[in-house]
């Protein structure tokens, strides 16, 4: 029985149902779970370990709902810098076809470290290429060493160019191989219990790279084992045209046809979704991973997040793959969510509207998306808020950073409104992964050198 007392924080943002914020607060943790949350003076004063966070804000650990860790190797590739989604993919597919298991391992450590340094304690990742003997296991091994929780999505592509799909035939697999490996991964790794560090998700890549049979087969297999389903959806207008042409449906209609609706399904992007389709999400419980930077980077469009929230759709935040962001800073992404939602309101006439029900996204709403929203999207009740019984996952930021000077009238809003910083502490299940804004589980400089070596090799032979 190991205990940790965290005390004297300027404010603890609980993100509980009452959205309580506790001044001069702290946490009492036992064996990786929260036992008490409250004012420092009301907590037990004796513990195996004591962390004094005077001058810090404590927030629940952030939850990332969409990423492709391996893409940290192909950030800012010159030929893919100024392309839309389909052209960006066509440029990068041949490079990704050269990935090795070591590339997958190193890039996952880089992405998971970046996430941890931005306050993230649980990440979903979507790996959908397995060239040269690569396996999802390579990423799982890497993230275990880093120490954050992982929802590892077994991605897949089965619709190559010769069958009318977008990716070259060299990076697609046959349905049987994909489903067999998916089943192996679930049986070997999936842990659905409270406090789970690893869950498996089935994640055919997108409507334009996967056959209808694989979408249906994945849904059947996922439900047999009670694992979640994830894919890219309604990201661009190109995709909408593709779906109408090939399947006779808009993307959401196609998902309904292949039985991909329910509270065990979440979609990345969901930019081109109309009000009727929003009702489908709300009624069936489909979640959305909002990836604002990627949507701006690839000129994809602006997702209707305020409409989703008004309709009761679960929305989380995703930094998306590092080739379309090109970073993994979750706090920055939460800020981007707020700013982009406000821009959308501006474009559609907010300043001229007399509708009192029409509101701008607030900083606290953005923090909610990054915590409770993400937890709901991943189907987790044990993370996303600081409450007794939940996982002891939190992040803490020193409010004495230059970036917050003059913003301490409201420190909670300041972490979103002000320039995003590296967090000072990230703690997962009571274990410190980030301390004084440095990783404790990996040597960052060695990792950067390794990573650059792998990235250079990947592009060198082109």
Binding site for Zn ion (CB under 5 A): 320
Length of the chain: 462
Nearer to Zn ion, 300 or 441 (CB): 300
What's the rounded Cα separation, in Å, for the pair 430 and 394? 9
Minimal CB distance residue for Zn ion: 320
Q: Report phi then psi at 107, rounded to 5.
A: -65, -35
User: Please, what is the minimum distance in Å from the beta carbon of residue 206 to Zn ion?
Assistant: 8
User: Please, what is the minimum distance in Å from the beta carbon of residue 71 to Zn ion?
Assistant: 8
Query: Do 179 and 217 touch, CB atoms closer than 8 A?
Result: yes
Residues 6 or more apart in contact with residue 374 via CB below 8 angstroms: 62, 63, 64, 65, 122, 316, 317, 384
User: Please, what is the minimum distance in Å from the beta carbon of residue 291 to Zn ion?
Assistant: 7
Nearer to Zn ion, 269 or 380 (CB): 269
Give Dmax over CA atoms of the chain in angstroms: 67
User: Please, what is the minimum distance in Å from the beta carbon of residue 238 to Zn ion?
Assistant: 15
The backbone region for 160, taken as left when phi is positive above 0, alpha when psi lies in -120 to 50, beta otherwise, is beta
User: Please, what is the minimum distance in Å from the beta carbon of residue 232 to Zn ion?
Assistant: 5
What's the rounded Cα separation, in Å, for the pair 141 and 221? 24
Nearer to Zn ion, 86 or 225 (CB): 86
User: Please, what is the minimum distance in Å from the beta carbon of residue 295 to Zn ion?
Assistant: 10
Pair of tokens at residue 250: 């808009």
Nearer to Zn ion, 264 or 320 (CB): 320
- For residue 154, the cross-strand partners are 127, 202
User: Please, what is the minimum distance in Å from the beta carbon of residue 125 to Zn ion?
Assistant: 10
CB atoms within 10 A of CB 381: 11
What's the rounded Cα separation, in Å, for the pair 135 and 131? 8
Nearer to Zn ion, 7 or 230 (CB): 230
Nearer to Zn ion, 158 or 300 (CB): 300
Q: Report phi then psi at 33, rounded to 5.
A: -120, 155
Nearer to Zn ion, 10 or 293 (CB): 293
Pairing of strands 315-317, 394-398: unpaired
Query: Do 231 and 205 touch, CB atoms closer than 8 A?
Result: yes
């Amino acid at each position: 029985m190991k205990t940790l007392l965290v005390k004297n924080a300027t404010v603890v943002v609980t993100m509980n149902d009452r959205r309580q914020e506790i001044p001069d607060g702290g946490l009492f943790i036992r064996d990786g779970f929260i036992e008490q949350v409250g004012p420092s003076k009301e907590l037990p004063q004796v513990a195996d370990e004591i962390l004094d966070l005077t001058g810090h804000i404590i927030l629940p650990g952030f939850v990332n709902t969409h990423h492709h860790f391996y893409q940290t190797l192909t950030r800012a590739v010159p030929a893919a810098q100024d392309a839309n989604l389909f052209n960006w993919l066509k440029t990068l597919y041949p490079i990704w076809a050269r990935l090795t298991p070591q590339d997958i391992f190193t890039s996952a450590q880089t992405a998971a470290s970046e996430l941890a340094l931005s306050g993230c304690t649980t990440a979903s990742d979507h790996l959908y290429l397995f060239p040269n003997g690569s396996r999802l296991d390579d990423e799982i091994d890497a993230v275990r060493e880093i120490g954050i929780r992982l929802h590892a999505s077994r991605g897949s592509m089965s619709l190559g160019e010769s069958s009318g799909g977008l990716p070259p035939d060299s990076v697609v697999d046959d349905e049987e191989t994909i489903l067999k490996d998916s089943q192996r991964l679930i049986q070997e790794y999936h842990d659905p219990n409270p406090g789970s560090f690893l869950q498996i998700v089935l994640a055919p890549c997108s409507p334009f790279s996967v056959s209808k049979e694989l979408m249906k087969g994945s849904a059947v297999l996922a439900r047999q084992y009670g694992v979640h389903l994830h894919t890219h959806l309604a990201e661009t207008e190109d995709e909408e045209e593709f779906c109408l042409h090939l399947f006779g449906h808009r993307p959401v209609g196609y998902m309904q046809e292949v039985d991909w609706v329910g509270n065990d399904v979440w979609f990345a992007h969901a930019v081109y979704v109309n009000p009727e389709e929003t009702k489908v999400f709300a009624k069936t419980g489909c979640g959305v991973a909002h990836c604002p930077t990627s949507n701006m980077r690839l000129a994809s469009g602006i997702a209707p997040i305020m409409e989703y929230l008004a309709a009761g759709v679960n929305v989380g935040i995703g930094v998306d793959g590092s080739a379309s962001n090109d970073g993994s800073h979750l706090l920055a992404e939460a800020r981007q969510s707020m700013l982009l939602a406000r821009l959308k309101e501006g474009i559609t006439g907010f300043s001229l509207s007399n509708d009192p029900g029409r509101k701008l996204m607030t900083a606290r709403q953005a923090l909610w998306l990054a915590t409770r929203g993400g937890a709901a999207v991943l189907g987790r009740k044990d993370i996303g808020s600081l409450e007794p019984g939940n996982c002891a996952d939190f992040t803490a930021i020193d409010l004495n950073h230059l970036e917050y000077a003059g913003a301490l009238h409201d420190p909670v809003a300041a972490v979103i409104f002000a320039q995003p910083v590296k967090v000072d502490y990230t703690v997962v299940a009571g274990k410190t992964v980030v301390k004084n804004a440095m990783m404790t589980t990996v040597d960052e400089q060695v990792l950067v050198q390794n990573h650059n070596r792998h990235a250079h090799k990947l592009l060198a032979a082109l």
